[in-house]
Amino acid sequence: MSSTPEADRWPKLPYAAWKDTCETLHLWTQIVGKMRLARTPWLNHSWHATLYVDPHGLTTSLVPDGAGIEITFDLVNHAVIGEAADGRRGNIPLAPMSVAEFHQDFRELVEKLGGTPDFNGRPNEVPDPTPFRDDKRPRPYDAVAVTRFFHALVAVSRVLSKFRTGFIGKVSPVHLFWGSFDLAVTRFSGRRAPLHPGGIPNLPDEVTREAYSDEVSSAGFWPGGGGADFAAFYSYAYPTPDGFADGQVMPAGAYFDRKLGEFLLPYDVVRTSGEPEAALMAFLESTYRVAADTGRWDRAALECPIGYPLRPRPLNRT
């Protein structure tokens, strides 16, 4: 049993109190993510571009640039740390600064590590994007709020990773998309999807259409913004099956947002419940079942029991 108090594992995360810092961190992760995107061979559904939760914050994992480079957002000690496989190392202290300053400092860090500091210089999936080098207005950095966000990511990642094990069909890693700034996991039915209409702000349609080339049920977490001014869990299906919006989901407090076209569950509902992990798992499982049942997925062939340490998965012979 963990000795970490539940209040620390599921900290308060009021979006309004750290909205400006959250927007700053979002843009900084885009800069780092775009470096990984520029150097890594394309993988299905843009999985090659994402960030991952680690014991310090968020990491690119090893990027095939120079000798091999890893960039980590240390959200506890508040620095971006760069390490190369040949021993070179550098860091950028995280503190109030403009996006342009961070962009310049990061380019210099990549060059110091022996990498290539050339990548797309405009934000994605945000309204009215300003090129990174031109975004010179002062930006705040609330270190305490950022560390709370990190602890929330760790708690959420634990549950999403457990949920991921109950599926033997194609399923994504648990990863953070820096464009939309959400931690997500996606299950696939195994069938092709109709061509996505595109139209996501400041994201090429060819990227969107490849990402949604297959039928999915996707769930995740974002800290606020983008249609919900509060931290929330979400779950959607693409294409959206008839009857999906009317599905019965758990726990109490979950609802279908018709403007966004997906189920939402406020983070605070989970955080303040007696059993946060069970409440979140109920949301993940019930919204997936609605997507699978209304979409007529072959659930018997795709699902399996949740995985446990040291317990081989039973063979599915049905």
The confidence band for 317, taking pLDDT boundaries of 50, 70 and 90, is low
Verify cis geometry, omega within 30 degrees of 0, for the bond prior to 251: yes
User: Does residue 210 register a pLDDT over 70?
Assistant: yes
Answer positive or negative: Cα dihedral of 103, 105, 106, 107. positive
User: In this predicted structure, what is the pLDDT of residue 127?
Assistant: 87
Q: What is the pLDDT of residue 5?
A: 62
pLDDT at 4 over 60: no
- The predicted pLDDT at position 241 comes to 98
Distances (CA, A) of 30 to 38, 132, 165: 12, 10, 29
What pTM did the predictor assign?
0.95
pLDDT of residue 238: 98
**What's the confidence (pLDDT) of residue 229?**
92
Q: Tell me: the pLDDT tens digits for 277-296?
A: 999 999 999 999 999 999 99
Per the structure block, which two tokens stand in for 69? 């480079």
Residue 265 tokens, joined? 């569950």
Ranges 41-50, 65-74, 220-229: which has the least confidence? 220-229
Question: Mind spelling out the 3-state secondary structure of 186-228?
Answer: EEEEEEECCCCCCCCCCCCHHHHHHHCCEEEEEEEEECCECCE
**Is residue 174 packed enough to be buried (19+ CB in 10 Å), middle (13-18) or exposed (0-12)?**
buried
Question: pLDDT, tens digit, for every residue of 156-179?
Answer: 999 999 999 999 999 999 999 999
Average pLDDT of every residue of the chain: 96
Q: Which tokens belong to 193?
A: 């999807």
Q: How confident is the model at residue 2 (pLDDT cuts 50, 70, 90)?
A: very low
For 74-107, write each residue's pLDDT tens digit.
Answer: 999 999 999 999 999 999 999 999 999 999 999 9
- Mean pLDDT of the 182-209 span: 96
| Residue 239: cis peptide before it, omega within 30 degrees of 0 | yes
Q: What is the mean pLDDT of residues 111-139?
A: 96
The percentage of the chain sitting over the pLDDT mark of 70, rounded to a whole number, equals 97
What pLDDT is stored for residue 1 in this prediction? 41
Spell out the SS3 assignment of the chain: CCCCCHHHHCCCCCHHHHHHHHHHHHHHHHHHHHHHHHHCCCCHHHHHHCEEECCCEEECCCECCCCCEEEEEECCCCEEEEEECCCCEEEEECCCCCHHHHHHHHHHHHHHCCCCCCCCCCCCCCCCCCCHHHCCCCCCCCHHHHHHHHHHHHHHHHHHHHHHCCECCCECCCEEECCCCEEEEEEEEEEECCCCCCCCCCCCHHHHHHHCCEEEEEEEEECCECCECCCEEEEEEECCCCCHHHCCCCCCCCEEECCCCEEEEEHHHHHCCCCHHHHHHHHHHHHHHHHHHHCCCCHHHHECCCCECCECCCCCCC
Evaluate if residue 314 carries a pLDDT over 90. no
The answer on pLDDT for 6 being more than 80 is no
Q: What is the pLDDT of residue 7?
A: 64
User: What value does the mean pLDDT take over residues 193-220?
Assistant: 96
